[in-house]
Amino acid sequence: MKLSLDSGSGIVVTGTGAGWIRVGSEEIRENVVLTRERVLPGWAPAGFDALVEADLAALLAHEPEVVILGSGPAQRFAHPRLLRPLLDAGIGVESMATPAACRTFNILNGEGRRVVAALIVTGSDPARKSSGA
pLDDT at residue 2 tops 80: no
* Predicted TM-score (pTM) of this structure: 0.86
Neighbours of 5 (CB within 10 A): 14
In a domain, 7, yes or no: no
Convert the pLDDT of each residue in 27-45 to its tens digit: 999 999 999 999 999 999 9
Q: Pick the closest to residue 11 from 32, 39, 33, 31 (CA basis).
A: 39
DSSP state letter for 2: B
Here the CATH number for the domain that contains residue 31 is 3.40.1230.10
In a domain, 8, yes or no: no
Return all residues near 44 (Cβ < 8 A) that are at least 6 apart.
31, 50, 51, 55, 118, 120
pLDDT above 90 as % of the chain:
83
In a domain, 48, yes or no: yes
In a domain, 3, yes or no: no
In a domain, 5, yes or no: no
In a domain, 4, yes or no: no
Structural domain of 115: 13-126
Cα–Cα distance, 36 to 54 (Å, whole number): 22
In a domain, 23, yes or no: yes
In a domain, 113, yes or no: yes
- For residue 122, what pLDDT is reported? 87
